[in-house]
Structure 1
């Protein structure tokens, strides 16, 4: 049995942010371009409000431009889709994100709204054909790469959800050397 490992998420996150900031500075210096993201928030879910605020603060720290578009919970599909289409056509916008979950009245339209974002601007990796990895899945993969040792086994529980599906794709694509990946789908009950 292997020893427990202590992993500092705060230290890791700070290092990752510094790397991104260096990339932003390089884009500004070499190409006179500042990355510009649009985040769409619909409704007043407290967790979504908090997370959107954190993204705004992070963008400021790395010197990226960030537009937070806040729609009321009563916004229509067409209003939001039109906004996405408009921003997707703007060449100064490099990424578009939709803060999930959407309010109840739009839940059934989540995939439709996500698919209004062009793949090349889907920086959250929510579309199946997005060239980007889902940020949570990418972070998990990076952490696994940092702490995993030869012959470790990785058990992925919930591999059919948005993050699980993305993490499975990343793990299969990158084939962590000498690691075994096992998947447990959401429908499986785990007994302890």
Structure 2
């Protein structure tokens, strides 16, 4: 069993991005810019946005966070997005999810210029992903593919099972694996006898937000297990969606929580922002 070390890989990628950002500044006088819209007081969202801002600073990327009260209107956020779409110094725009219930997240995401959609959530980029065309890919699934690549794990011809069918993780993850010529199953809340599906998987990717959902008997001997879930227990400890201690001995490769997929998500956000900046006319 080998642990897939997302933390060290993400650090390598971030160092490479910092070098490329410096080169871009020197060669074209362009500083990549990322703008974040943060609504309300959700502690997890604030912590995550703070981590993004710190990562941007370390990479030499300009970042700005528009903090807005929970009572903000749909129209006010739309005005801010429109303003950022027109700002030539902003290459990436993201709306931190989840949003308060009175806001229409879909409408806001569709308003973002697809060329600045560094989260990869705009239907334009989703369509390009499904069609196997170049575009922005959601950061977490993209990070998973980078991890598989780094560790020499080729999905081609393998049975892959994705547990979780969200627009942010599960669906794009399945599309990326399919584009890499894996045979893909997607499981969700209505899937019957989940273990039947997971036991067939050479590559098992789990992202549902349910602590220790995947147990030892649900995993094939020698499988590659990627745990995207991150859950805080009552004692304050962080665990994934996979029962790591029990499952790890059966795996050929497994990601830990924390220190697995999480750091890669932010690294891919920086990568997407740099890509957008390089595409400036």
Segments of structure 2 that go 5 or more residues without pairing to the other structure are: 126-134, 196-217, 219-281
Bigger RCO (CA 8 Å, 6+ sep): 2
Provide the residue aligned with 1:119 in structure 2.
Answer: 114
Q: Tell me by how many angstroms 1:10 deviates.
A: 1.2
Superposed CA deviations along residues 71-92 of structure 1, whole A, max 9, x for unmatched, are: 0000000000000001101111
- The change in CA–CA distance for 1:89 and 1:7 in structure 2 (over 3 A counts) is same
- TM-score, normalised on structure 2? 0.62
Residue by residue over 1:50-99, the C-alpha shift from the partner in whole angstroms, topping out at 9 and shown as x without a partner, is 00000000000000100100000000000000000011011111110000
Q: Is the 8 A contact 2:162 2:184 kept in 1?
A: yes
The residue that corresponds to 2:165 in the other structure is 159
2:185 aligns with: 182
Please give the secondary structure, in 2, of the residue aligned with 1:66.
strand
**Kindly tell me: are residues 84 and 122 of structure 1, through their superposed partners in 2, closer, same or farther at Cα, counting changes over 3 Å?**
same
Residues 160 and 186 of structure 1 are in contact (CA less than 8 Å); yes or no, is this contact kept in structure 2? no
* Residue in structure 2 matching 1:140, options 140, 144, 148: 144
> Could you tell me whether the CA contact under 8 Å between 1:21 and 1:62 is conserved in 2?
yes
TM-score, L = length of structure 1: 0.88
Equivalent of 1:83 in 80, 83, 90: 80
Once residues 161 and 96 of structure 1 are traced to their aligned partners in structure 2, the CA distance between those partners, rounded to angstroms, is 18
CA distance in 2 between counterparts of 1:159 and 1:128 reads 16
Distance in 2, Cα, partners of 1:187 & 1:115? 28
Partner Cα separation in structure 2 for residue 40 and residue 169 of structure 1: 27
Q: State the 1:153 CA deviation.
A: 3.3
1:137-162, Cα deviation, whole Å (9 max, x unpaired): 10011112233257653211123532
CA root-mean-square deviation:
1.8
Query: Which SS does the other structure have where 1:187 is aligned?
Result: coil
Q: Which runs of 5+ in 1 are unaligned?
A: none
CA distance in 2, matches of 1:16, 1:69: 27
Paired position in structure 2 for 1:65? 62
